[in-house]
Structure 1
Amino acid sequence: MPTQSKHWPAVLVALCAACLLAACSSEERPMKTVDYVDLERFMGDWYVIANIPTFVERGAHNAVESYALTPEGTIATTFTFRAGSFDGPLKTYHPTGFVVDRTSNALWGMQFIWPIKADFRIIYLTPDYQVTAIGRAKRDYVWVMARESAIPDEHYQTILSFLDEIGYDTSRIERVPQRW
């Protein structure tokens, strides 16, 4: 029968430390938000121009996200779209936004199911509050939105270049069909 080594606990600790260090080194680089968001100006309807869709949004048409400040300081959100086609069934979701960083108002938690708050970062916003991009630190999802149902292609390409520069795989970004 083999004898147990006295060094086994030290080997186990070293192995655990190596795993932790590997996990830290593979962490995504930080994602900067815009410097400041005037929440009252940001409220209202935003057409989803393009995104890396979540499973819920796959095939969405005429997608619109609407924000409204509540008296409690949260953000009542209504997300609507037609599933699969312009004539598809209307889908509506009501997540709640929570401003996490009150200095910039650009970092939110978005809660679809209690108690989980998803990372929601306003990473691009034109000075006139007409076009925005919402990202996540993991760079797994992104939403390009505008106050109108379309934006000029040059502006769209500028946003794609920006998203590429900050680490998004822009080949995963899909245009959302809009017809109003």
Structure 2
Amino acid sequence: MSFSRSFLIRLAPCLLAAAVGALLSGCASTRARSVTKEPASAPLRTVSHVDLRRYMGDWRVIANIPYFGEKNCVDSIESYALRADGKIDNHFTYRKKSFSAPQKQMTALAWVTNHKTNAEWQVRFFGLITVDYLVIDLDPEYRWAVLGYPGRKYGWILAREKTLPPRTYQAILQRLKTQGYDPARFRKVPQLPSQIGDLH
């Protein structure tokens, strides 16, 4: 199957989901380094360090800023695998509207652009479209992560499990606010059939 360049460019926001990640450390140093609220125009602050080997594996998409590429997605999973050449295979699997729908997958290739922190990546789709991937918040035990995007048009909250404790989720939203994000823009992604329709 072949794709025109114009088609791929229009599809880029849809494919951005495969980069989650943010999205996509140790103790408090893995958190965003300031509690002062940043204006939306300020550069996002990444975490101080990401242990790539600990970061690899499956992450559930708990919430995101909705856009057409992930509209009506459920059971969404970001998967990362470190390659021998240092690059990262990235797979995004999901279902549309229903947990009984067939599972679909998109693939991409990622690489670290800041080797001091490992928190800044780029992700490429179809060998044409490259997007930024910033890890802006990360649990010391790698149970959850938050991915940002320059300009704050996109954002993702990921977790190893299908749910996050409400207090943890609310604390993440508050830290996103200090980074210049509007927490009200984030919507939960159903990871369990019982969550469909409960997107607040």
Same fold by TM (over 0.5)?
Answer: yes
Unaligned runs of 5+ in 2: 1-38, 194-200
Match for residue 145 of structure 1 among 137, 140, 158: 158
What is the percentage of aligned positions where both structures have the same residue?
A: 41
Alignment of 1:45 with 2:54, yes or no, is: no
What's the Cα RMSD here? 1.7
Task: State the one-letter code of the partner of 2:133.
Answer: F
The superposition leaves residues 47-88 of structure 1 with CA deviations (integer Å, 9 ceiling, x where unpaired) of: 110001342211110101010001121110110011122222
The superposition leaves residues 9-50 of structure 1 with CA deviations (integer Å, 9 ceiling, x where unpaired) of: xxxxxxxxxxxxxxxxx9821111000001000000001100
Unaligned runs of 5+ in 1: 1-25
Q: Equivalent residue of 2:175, what SS? A: helix
Output the CA distance in 2 between the equivalents of 1:138 and 1:87. Answer: 35
Alignment of 1:56 with 2:69, yes or no, is: yes
Match for residue 92 of structure 2 among 59, 76, 79: 79
Alignment partner, residue 33 of structure 1? 46
Structure 1 residue ranges (4+ consecutive) displaced by more than 3 angstroms after TM superposition = none
- Give the CA deviation at 1:109: 0.5
TM-score normalised by structure 2 residue count: 0.74
Pair member with larger Rg: 1
TM-score normalised by structure 1 residue count: 0.81
Task: State the one-letter code of the partner of 1:135.
Answer: G
- Give the CA deviation at 1:114: 2.5
Q: 1:46–1:65: 8 Å Cα contact kept in structure 2? A: yes
Instruction: Give the 3 Å change call, closer, same or farther, for CA 75–121 of structure 1 in structure 2.
Output: same
Per mean C-alpha deviation after superposition, the further-off stretch among 58-67 and 162-171 is 162-171
- Give the CA deviation at 1:111: 1.2
Match for residue 164 of structure 1 among 149, 158, 177: 177
Alignment partner, residue 88 of structure 1? 101
Instruction: Give the 3 Å change call, closer, same or farther, for CA 154–101 of structure 1 in structure 2.
Output: same
Name the count of aligned residue pairs.
155
Alignment of 1:119 with 2:132, yes or no, is: yes
- Greater fraction of residues in strand: 1
The superposition leaves residues 79-129 of structure 1 with CA deviations (integer Å, 9 ceiling, x where unpaired) of: 001112222232201011110101100000011232332110000001101
Output the CA distance in 1 between the equivalents of 2:73 and 2:177. Answer: 23
Of structures 1 and 2, the one with the larger relative CO (CA 8 A, separation 6+) is 2
Task: State the one-letter code of the partner of 2:104.
Answer: K
Output the CA distance in 2 between the equivalents of 1:118 and 1:48. Answer: 18
